[in-house]
Structure 1
Amino acid sequence: MKATVKLYKNDGKSKGQYPVKLIITHQKKIKRKTIGYSSAEDWNTLHELPKTSHDDYEDLYGLIMEYRKKALSLKFKELEGVISGMSFFEGSKGKITNFYLFADQEIERMKKLNRNGNADAYQYATDQLEKFAPELSFTDITRTLLENFKQHKKEDGLKNTSIRTYLYEIRAIYNKAVRMGICEDSRPFTGLFLDLPVRIRRNKNEYLDRKGIKKIMEAEELSKEQQMAVDLNLLQFYFCGADLVDVYYLKKKQIVKGRAFFKRAKLGVKGYEFDVKVLPEAEEIINKYKTDDDSEYIFPWRKDETGYKTFRSNHNRKLERVKKKLEIELMPKGGKLTSKVVRHSFATLGKFAGVDPDIMRELMGHERNDIDTAYKDKFPEKVRDKAQIKIARM
């Protein structure tokens, strides 16, 4: 764990000055925080300190020397992670007041929960906000600031949908901080979206019909890599359209007495545990690729965020090659064959087969409406298994 302070010129000037940044580095990860500003003429690049000509010389000099003293402490060097390292310099007795620092913690938490989509969405939104407001405490998040940010994005030519998405993610982080007692809720988001109308339209979900699924099941003369992509795609299908991320991180303890227990990572705290039957076809695929070591996971693929993203990208590319090779047509109007398509396919085929929508929700782990389902009993295994087999086996 290391900490340095320097005049940071990579981001360019702001009102004629460069930002002075505290930079935390640990195990190839970096976190930066702006602590002041200075012109090149008022900065001593040899010692990375302000010159006496700097307008804020005494305060900035004292702050940097205090940071350097903290950086030499054993307590700081023993910390793990750049976020905890930055928190060490906050000096707020463990309570984070910096919005971006709290956002970083939430992003890291999402990654540990394998909710990489949420993590990316938070990261994109906070990156955009940080470009507009480099320094931001929770008390700075006011209706005025958010309105100015919204107008700034409109002037940049962004569509209402994109602006709303950024604001939704920022609001989610802010609300989490409110629930944790980190800040008071000043309700800065109330009425913020009124002038951001969007056209609501039904998403076009591509899917494979039974003919397409059959072509994949009976595929021959594929390369080893293409066959693995097909097998994994079919495993998702046999698991009732399970998300790729949930299959990728499948643990040995999730398979119990011929059943697979899932909790969709995509839903986070809204997710609930549900189970599906491990069909012989699924078991065959698992046995083909499972690891024989003492790992808690069934499959041997890398279990970090970068490993999953790389795997998913390569996986979808292989599926698209298979689609072209087998001349598979996606319904209703074509499209690319990806890991998402198999989930849509299972849902669509279930609908066409007349399976009860409530049974489909239980098979696929769809988010529940608390009011709608509070008084509904879970369908018996035999009923769910019958529906699963009806869809999975032509």
Structure 2
Amino acid sequence: MSSNPAPGAEPSSVTATVVVRSVPLPVEGGLLSYLPADTPHDELVSWVRRGDGIVGWGSALTFESSGPERFRDAEAWWKSVAARAVVRDEVAVPGSGLVCFGSFPFADDSAESARLVVPSTIVGRREGQSWLTTISLDPQLPRLETPVVAREPEPPADVAFADGRVSPADYAHAVAEAVTRINAGDLDKVVLARDLVATASGPIDPRWLLQRLADRYENTWVFSVAGLVGATPELLVRRDQGLITSRVLAGTIRRTGDDEHDLALAASLARSSKDLEEHEYAVRSVADALAPHCSSMNVPESPFVLHLPNVMHLATDVAAVSADDATSLTLAASLHPSAAVGGTPTAAAIELIAELEHMDRGRYAGPVGWMDARGDGAWGIALRSGAYAPGDPSQITLYAGCGIVAGSDPESEVAESSAKLIPMRDALASD
């Protein structure tokens, strides 16, 4: 079943009853190993970090919406689904029971649609407890079929890379123009992105990409929703029984592979006025957006340096206590676009992105994650990611972006964007 309202229209109410059953299930090995082979790439979903999370496949329900009201429409549809659901949850932990996965376009005027997916099968694990969830439209309780570890995915063959809509030279020119606008006082910060197209000689198995990303980037959330695949280090928001958390990343430096040199680079990043300024804008935008929904909030005075295999980021973990019944998706919508992916002031930055980027970001840099029937869930920012070409599983477009402030240098930003493309480029390699 699917629903596809016109932009800004009220989503049609859900007439079918969703029947859900969650039971304990011993899970041996990694969650990603249960994703079945030969399943369409856009029917595999994932939200996994350090072995915990949820993965799923099949499609019990889907929903699409676009335009400025995409978040509101999706929330209304999900509440309608949850209101009619029959749920037997023998596990009762975050991620069990009725769950949807979602991803949303970055821009209001994107040609892409927001996607919500309710898989027919979910396998989850949290803090040593694992489970199986089966979801169907059958009025009887779903039949439980114990999932098995799937065969290993094959690597992509003959992968070739080509410039997308924004070449490195185009990107350098856009950065230079952005710095000119910032120095003229038009805005304080803007995040500009570029793309890279990867094409293989046959279908690219998303399970290969997910496993490679999970193995190499354990500090990230490895995600897959409706053909968007990646590993994000940035948690936009998590809502868990009244506790709200958000991880803000802004300010980046590329690693060299020399541990001693990288420690020195980390120290320089922590002192960099340019990067600290960029980071402050991002943290302030998150705290301001969350404040109306929170009774208390803790924002550390100084960021820490998050070490990833390819880059290091300035990072701040914001924690707050919920003061209302706003769902995790409502919170994600209020945070999007944060200064970490848009800029400051937001309106001016979004306008400049539309002018200078010359591409549709699609769902890159938009919220991606999951939510349960109570509204708890986790949403990241779709960074370090790639989107499959519609109808062509052999092609995927990779994206990366950088925060531009007054002190930004065009060639340095091109190099930083190249570093941010490395996770997905390496995931596509066969060695």
Do these two structures clear the TM 0.5 threshold for a shared fold by scoring above it?
A: no
Q: Greater CA radius of gyration, 1 or 2?
A: 1
Higher relative CO (Cα under 8 Å, sequence separation at least 6) belongs to 2
More strand per residue: 2
- Normalised to the residue count of structure 2, the TM-score between the two structures is 0.28
More helix per residue: 1
- Normalised to the residue count of structure 1, the TM-score between the two structures is 0.30
